A and B are shown apart, each in its own frame.
Chain A
Amino acid sequence: MGYAIEGSTGTWEVVVGLEVHAQVISRAKLFSGAATDFGAPPNSQVSFVDAAFPGMLPVINRECVAQAVRTGLGLNAHINFVSRFDRKNYFYADLPAGYQISQYQHPIVGEGKIEIELTDGSTREIGITRLHLEQDAGKSLHDQHPSKTYVDLNRSGVALMEIVSEPDIRSPEEAGAYVRKLRTILRYLGTCDGNMEEGSMRADVNVSVRRHGEPYRTRCEVKNVNSVRFVMQAIEAEAKRQVEVWESGGTVEQETRLFEKGTTRSMRSKEDAHDYRYFPDPDLLPLVLDEAWVAELKAKLPELPDAKKRRFMHDYGLAAYDAGVLVAEQATADYFERVAKGRDAKLAANWVMGDLFAALNRAGRTIVDSPVSAAALGGLLDLMADNTISGRIAKDVFEAMVQTGDDPVAIIEAKGLRQVTDTGAIDAAVASVLAANADKVAEYQAGREKLFGFFVGQVMKAMAGKGNPALVNDALKRKLSAA
């Protein structure tokens, strides 16, 4: 059995479902023409529709609909050709109309699934219940004035996709893998940038615990969790809290909670829950999708991470784990493919995941602004393949590439690192090493064959690392057997 919480009375299973709010990438808002750029001055991207002025009416932005459909297709989900917008009514200062336009009863996307990979190499399928489109609210700013609250409506009306999972998740690790995988898919599709720190992706986490084999117990919803790490921590903290409640003879009450400083606290109880008085928005007609249009969107979808991973394993012979690491970000996968094309793909994967990742890590950069381009790394691999340099020299050349951004050929020429293949020079170096270590030669010939490595090392050292390893080996074997 996998993850479990050990209580004082036994083992508890954790049951988790996630509602992820993903901000749609679109130039304009869901129902108004106002812009959606992050970080604009407060209230500079607000139309009269967003501010809910009298007589203003919503008009659906087709691009947001297309993005939702693309996302649904990317989640292997059922696309509902007829969906509807409802009003969710509640009063708040940053909700100008007094209602949020959402899709309650008839979402644009129905059931789908996501495959997640766990660190032990296993995979699991997590069900998607639905995806619907809705408007974001504005933002209340409580820290601008000692006694007043300011309201910024830039975000008011921005399109969100709420992606609801089935309660299929059984551990913090699975939840983390789910959010990361979902984010990867959204980024591949170009439908959400997935930047949780900017708030363009946030999660509501539904947690309950139960004894193995029991039906579900009461769940609590932890609202607005804004990083993968916090999602995992929130689940652990909330599950432990619930275990303590049950084990001390109490009852977990359905409520909304907040995650703060490593623990969850109550935000509002079920009794205080809003009655949202949902009803179909009479300002909007049902959203009817054209089948040919959906088919066209489907035909233009990019290759998604699961398919790309399978292709990397099949075409490049990569192990599942390596393929999974390389496809996690589309930019990494693209970089790898540019390096691997026409070259030793496994070697390319090792360099990307090893030396390149390490260098990016040290420099605090991402693959998009890597100091070493895919073409330059490919060139380095070519220089190894044609014996211009050895693998050991290549490491030094790569470091120089990271520092200077220079082309590997230029570095090799400037530093005189070109591999020595002149057998005369190699023979001379071998001869002098053997002469200087006559005692070891005798030991070798008496049967201590592992000394061979010592001789290789000494020869390479004498040649400043530039000797062609194969030729050095040949020359040594020849001389030692002849001696």
Chain B
Amino acid sequence: MAGSSTAISLTDLTIAAARDGLRARHFTARELTEAHLAAIARLNPRLNAFITVTGDRALTQADAADTALSRGDFAPLTGIPLAIKDLFCTEGVRTTAGSHILSPFVPPYESTVSANLLRDGAIFVGKTNMDEFAMGSSNMTSAFGPVVNPWKRRQDADAVLVPGGSSGGSASAVSARLAMGATGTDTGGSIRQPAAFCGIVGMKPTYGRCSRWGVVAFASSLDHPGPFARTTEDCAILLGSMAGHDPKDSTSADLPVADYAAACGRGVKGMRIGVPREYRVDGMQGEIETLWQQGLAWLRDAGAEIVDISLPHTKYALPAYYIVAPAEASSNLARYDGVRFGLRENGTDLRDLYERTRAAGFGAEVRRRILIGTYVLSAGYYDAYYLRAQKVRALILRDFTDAFAQVDALVAPTAPSAAFAQGENMDDPVQMYLNDVFTGPADLAGVPAISVPAGLDANGLPLGLQVIGKPFDEATVFAVGAALERAAGFDALPQIRAGA
């Protein structure tokens, strides 16, 4: 049994270091898992990052990992404690999607992505909190209460900050060292924005790179499963396990998965890095602009050529996103009807059963988006909204295609601000939606993008820079992300964390 001083250092390890330590038998998977479970027990009441903690299961998995390790039989993630966003169905473990309507749902199957992680030896410590059905940028819409960002403002330490959304529980958990890595999904920015808000790395791979099978659908053409970790290399290790062709997902790509961890060491010498001028929006914080310029300077110093690039349809991305995503969601969420699984509120007839179940089961933001989606698909409105949004989407993809004819990757800020406090941005949904302004276009185009922590704002809060790459060229995205990471030397720590 490890002592508490060991436990503290264990939770600070990167996945790459923990893997080496486990294989060298410096500590056991059980010790590593117990250290994280202890951190969850201590900090989750404050952070609310987990909806379900699977301690017993994790320890059973840890003992199996130790047995395997003692035989010298190890897979890429043997013994590594991870957290799973509660949007991924996990066999025998409740999966809620952050919604009351799924609060009683225990899936009889394992999502492909989480199954791939288990295949590679990972240990799951629990299911992380999230905006309801992944609809939100603050984690304020979860039926299980808001998640707290482990970072604090220097000037206003009492303010409770949001971790971003929708994968806020995963980002908060990894940032506070309750897990070494986590899964998330990015539909409009739901991996990259919380990664930026929580000072960690979040990677959204190309659409089709990670299977959506077993992931509760929000907007099918936009949902991208991807990893969180505290370093670029760790994200690369996780994505290497999560990715791959899945015949059960018709939109999954049958393409080889590169060695992303190796790509992190490639460097950027000779690369052409594009700076999309349309991302310089009104009202952006000055320190974000400064950090962006700093990031470009680091890359120039590392041997990259910086090129001004235009993505002319960027300003239409957000409106298009907020038509396509709710449209698909309105259809995807029709199955939550109280008939076969999840919540049921009995009614006088079938229609009454639907209305009562869905009124009781869905929160305000989900209801708002179902209404928007139903509206934009309605007869007489389809052409003006949905069809036009799809045309805009094609133009946005063309913007990226044109840009990537000239450059290897694009660099931009991840979010227009640092983490805001609970209650801020709450009265105007459109203000909240603006959080996706830099992240939405890559989702609409399906291109890969990573957010890495690059600096702090005046309040001591982390800020992220985003690298966007060519379809299925995650390797280059990792190479550029790792170069930024090395130059930034980001070593600030959140106030709330294991060992603090």
Q: Which residues of A contact B (CB under 8 A)?
A: 48, 51-60, 87, 89, 91-93, 96-99, 149, 151, 275, 277-279, 282-285
Q: Are B221 and A98 in contact (CB under 8 A)?
A: no
Please give the distance in Å from B216's CB to the nearest CB on chain A. Answer: 4
Question: Would you call B52 an interface residue if the criterion is a C-beta within 8 Å of the partner chain's C-beta atoms?
Answer: no
* Cα–Cα distance between A58 and B217 once the two chains are bound (Å): 13
- Residues from chain A with Cβ under 8 Å of B334 in the complex: 89, 91, 97-99
Interchain CA distance A89-B340 in the complex, whole Å: 18
Among listed B42-50, B168-176, B245-253, B467-475, interface-contacting one = B245-253
Which residues of B sit under 8 angstroms from A51, Cβ to Cβ?
Answer: 340
Give B325 Cβ to nearest chain A Cβ, in Å: 11
Can you list 24 pairs linking A and B with CB atoms under 8 Å apart? A54-B89, A54-B95, A54-B97, A54-B102, A54-B105, A56-B213, A57-B250, A59-B248, A59-B249, A89-B331, A91-B351, A92-B350, A96-B339, A97-B335, A98-B334, A99-B334, A151-B339, A275-B378, A279-B382, A279-B386, A282-B251, A282-B328, A283-B217, A283-B220
Enumerate chain A residues within 8 angstroms of B354, measured Cβ to Cβ.
Answer: 91
Chain B residue nearest to A91 (CB atoms) is: B354
**Nearest residue, chain A, Cβ from B252:** A57
Cα–Cα, bound, A89→B111 (Å): 26
Chain A residue numbers with a CB within 8 Å of B220 are: 282-283
A89 and B247 alpha carbons, distance in the complex (Å): 26
Q: Judge whether B107 and A53 touch: CB under 8 Å.
A: yes
Q: Which residues of chain B come closer than 8 Å to A285, judged between CB atoms?
A: 250-251
The reply to whether B216 and A54 form a contact with Cβ atoms under 8 Å apart is yes
Which residues of B are found within 8 Å of A91, using beta-carbon distances?
Answer: 334, 337, 351, 354
A277 touches B212 (CB 8 A): no
5 further A-B contacts with Cβ under 8 Å, apart from A55-B111, A279-B382, A282-B220, are A55-B214, A55-B216, A87-B331, A89-B377, A283-B220
> Judging by beta carbons under 8 Å apart, are A55 and B89 in contact?
yes
Instruction: Provide the bound-state CA to CA distance between A275 and B219, in Å.
Output: 21
Contacting residues, chain B, for A59 (C-beta < 8 A): 247-250
Asked if B200 CB lies within 8 Å of chain A CBs, one says no
B108 an interface residue at 8 Å Cβ cutoff?
Answer: yes
Interface residues of B in 354-410 (CB under 8 A from A): 354, 374, 377-379, 382, 386
Write out the residue numbers on chain A whose beta carbons fall within 8 Å of the beta carbon of B212. Answer: 55, 57
Min CB gap A101→B, angstroms: 11
- Residues on A with beta carbons closer than 8 Å to the beta carbon of B339: 93, 96, 151
Q: Is B107 touching A277 in the complex (CB atoms < 8 A)? A: no
Closest-CB distance, B387 to chain A (whole angstroms): 9
Q: Does A52 contact B248, Cβ atoms closer than 8 Å?
A: no
Within the complex, what minimum Cβ distance (angstroms) separates A99 from chain B? 5
Contact A93 B350 (CB under 8 A): yes
B215 at interface by CB-CB < 8 Å: yes
Q: Which has the most chain A C-beta neighbours within 10 Å: B374, B377, B378?
A: B377
What's the least CB distance linking A143 to chain B, in Å?
A: 16
Which B residues fall within an 8 A CB radius of A? 88-89, 95, 97, 102, 105, 107-109, 111, 212-217, 219-221, 247-251, 327-328, 330-331, 334-335, 337, 339-341, 350-351, 354, 374, 377-379, 382, 386
| A58 adjacent to B250 (CB under 8 Å) | yes
Chain A neighbourhood of B102, CB < 8 A: 54
Q: B214: which A residues are within 8 A, CB to CB?
A: 55-56
Q: Which residue of B lies closest to A87 (CB)?
A: B331
User: CB-CB < 8 A to B248: which residues of A?
Assistant: 57, 59
**Is there an interface contact between A57 and B378, defined as CB atoms closer than 8 Å?**
no
For the complex formed, measure the closest distance between the CB of B388 and the CB atoms of chain A, giving whole angstroms. Answer: 13
Complex Cα distance A285/B249, Å?
10
Contacts of B386 in A (CB 8 A): 279
Partner of B221, one of A92, A97, A151, A282: A282
Q: Please determine whether A98 and B337 come into contact, CB atoms closer than 8 angstroms.
A: yes
Chain B residues positioned under 8 Å from A53 (CB to CB): 107, 109, 340-341
**Residues of B contacting A282 in the complex (Cβ-Cβ under 8 angstroms):** 219-221, 251, 328
Q: Are B340 and A52 in contact (CB under 8 A)?
A: yes
User: Closest residue of chain A to B350, judged by CB?
Assistant: A93
> Is B108 a contact of A48 with CB atoms below 8 Å?
yes
Contact in complex: A277, B377 (CB < 8 Å) = yes
Query: Quick one: which of B213, B247, B331 contacts A279, CB cutoff 8 A?
Result: B331
Minimum C-beta distance from A436 to chain B (A): 88
Which of A54, A275, A284 is within 8 Å of B217, CB to CB? A54
Q: Is the beta-carbon distance between A54 and B335 smaller than 8 angstroms?
A: yes
B382: chain A residues at CB < 8 Å are 277-279
A-B pairs with the 4 shortest C-beta distances? Answer: A98-B334, A282-B221, A277-B377, A282-B220
Which of A97, A149, A278, A279 is B350 in contact with, Cβ under 8 Å? A149
Query: Which residues of A lie under 8 Å from residue B105 when comparing CB positions?
Result: 54
Q: Which of A92, A99, A149, A151 contacts B331 (CB 8 A)?
A: A99
Decide yes or no: A279 and B327 within 8 Å by CB, A54-B95, A59-B248, A285-B251 being known contacts: yes
Can you name the residue of chain B whose Cβ is closest to the Cβ of A92? B350
Chain B residues contacting A48 (CB-CB under 8 Å) are 108-109
The complex places the Cα of A91 from the Cα of B339 at a distance, in Å, of 11
Question: CA separation between A144 and B198, bound complex, in Å?
Answer: 55
Across the interface, which residues of B come within 8 angstroms of A278, CB to CB? 377, 382
Residue of B nearest to A283 (CB): B220
Contact A96:B340 (CB < 8 A) given known A48-B109, A54-B105, A60-B250? yes
Q: How far is the CA of A377 from the CA of B97 in the complex (A)?
A: 70
Cα distance A92–B337 in the bound complex, in angstroms = 9
Return the contact of B335 from the options A52, A275, A283 (Cβ within 8 A).
A52
Residues in chain B near residue A99, CB distance under 8 A:
331, 334
Docked CA distance A255–B336 (Å): 30
Q: Chain B's nearest CB lies how many Å from the CB of A276?
A: 8
- The residue in chain B whose Cβ has the minimal distance to the Cβ of A55 is B214
A97 neighbours in B (Cβ, 8 Å): 334-335
Residues from chain A with Cβ under 8 Å of B111 in the complex? 55
Are B217 and A98 in contact (CB-based, < 8 A)? Answer: no
Closest chain B CB from A275 CB (angstroms) = 5
Give the residues in chain A near B351, CB-CB below 8 Å: 91
Partner of A96, one of B335, B350, B374, B379: B335
Interface centre among A89, A97, A279 (most CB of B within 10 A): A279
Residues on the B chain within 8 Å of A56, using CB: 213-214
Chain A residues lying within 8 Å of B217, measured Cβ to Cβ, are 54-55, 283
Residue among B334, B340, B350 having the largest count of chain A Cβ atoms under 10 Å: B334
A150 to chain B, nearest CB (A): 11
